[in-house]
Each structure stands twice: as C-alpha cells, then as structure tokens.
Amino acid sequence: MTDTARRDFVNTVGDVLASWNLPRATGRVYGHLLLCSEPTTLDEVSSALGLSKGAVSTSVRELSSWGLARTIPQPGSRRLLIEAEAGFERLLAASHERTRAFVRTLRQGSELTDDDGAKRRLADVITLFETYVDVGDEMLRRARRSGS
C-alpha cells in the first residue's frame, strides 16, 4: 500500500467517524490502528499521524470506551501498547443502545401531549428510529452468522 493510499484511508476513516460525532482525530487514530500489523505505542501513532501525544491519548480513550481499541500494559513500564479491536460491530451496537434510549424518551414524550398532530409526529419519529435499530440488528445477526 502506498503512503498516499494509507493516508487517504486514515483520513476517510476519520471523516466517517466525524460524521458520527466522534472527533476526526479519533477516527484517524482508529484508521491507523486498523492498518497496523502489531500493537503500537502512543509515540508511534503520534509521529505517523502528526498529532500531539495528548490528542492520541484522548483518541485512544475514546476508542476504548466504544470498544474499538484496547490498551496493553507493558510489565515494568508505564508505556502502553495500543491495538484496534474488531470494530464497527461494537460501534453499531453502542449506537443502537443509545437509539433505544432515545426511543424510550420519545415514547414518554408522546404521553405528555394530547395533541393528535404531535402524537402522530412522535409516532413517525419513533417508527423511524425503531426501523433503524431493527435493520441494523439484522445486519449484525447476518454478519455474525457469516463469520465476518
């Protein structure tokens, strides 16, 4: 893979995760980690991406909270190695859980109004988000069955 293709991939992953409201730097770190054949250090990621070590550390914490990366302590050292985890399945599952919580809130909202128009509008939004979760869950089930 050429350096240009690698940089384009990393930047594209950054853009995609940014569209999901994660920092672009976090997406770039994830893209870089996905291409690494071995666990790597904060310093190596910082150097490769031109990001500060603090930005990389923050990104790794964010990725870890989503289950997209893990840190590996090094015995006798404060240094950590970092590697990408299995990925977007976990991100999608976490997104679904947040969406389910949102649907619960929307249902509560529909109990707060007697206005038929507002009830219809809330019902439409609830249906939209429930459909999103149902379709995504089906995608996850298929991926698990096919071993991807």
- The one-digit pLDDT tens for each residue of the chain (148 residues) are 789 999 999 999 999 888 888 899 999 999 999 999 999 999 999 999 999 999 999 999 999 888 889 999 988 888 889 999 876 677 777 778 888 999 999 999 999 999 999 999 999 999 999 999 999 889 888 888 887 5
Q: Which of 66, 85, 104 is the last residue of a domain?
A: 85
* Structure confidence at residue 52 (pLDDT): 96
Whether residue 94 sits in one domain with residue 44: no
- The model's pTM: 0.67
* Structure confidence at residue 87 (pLDDT): 63
Spatial CB neighbours of 103, under 8 Å, sequence gap ≥ 6: 126, 129, 130, 133
Whether residue 81 sits in one domain with residue 68: yes
* Structure confidence at residue 143 (pLDDT): 80
Whether residue 60 sits in one domain with residue 106: no
* Structure confidence at residue 148 (pLDDT): 54
Spatial CB neighbours of 25, under 8 Å, sequence gap ≥ 6: 14, 49, 51, 55, 56, 58, 59
Whether residue 101 sits in one domain with residue 56: no
* Structure confidence at residue 135 (pLDDT): 92
* Structural domain that includes position 30: 3-85
55/82 Cα distance (integer angstroms): 14
* Structure confidence at residue 129 (pLDDT): 94
Whether residue 123 sits in one domain with residue 52: no
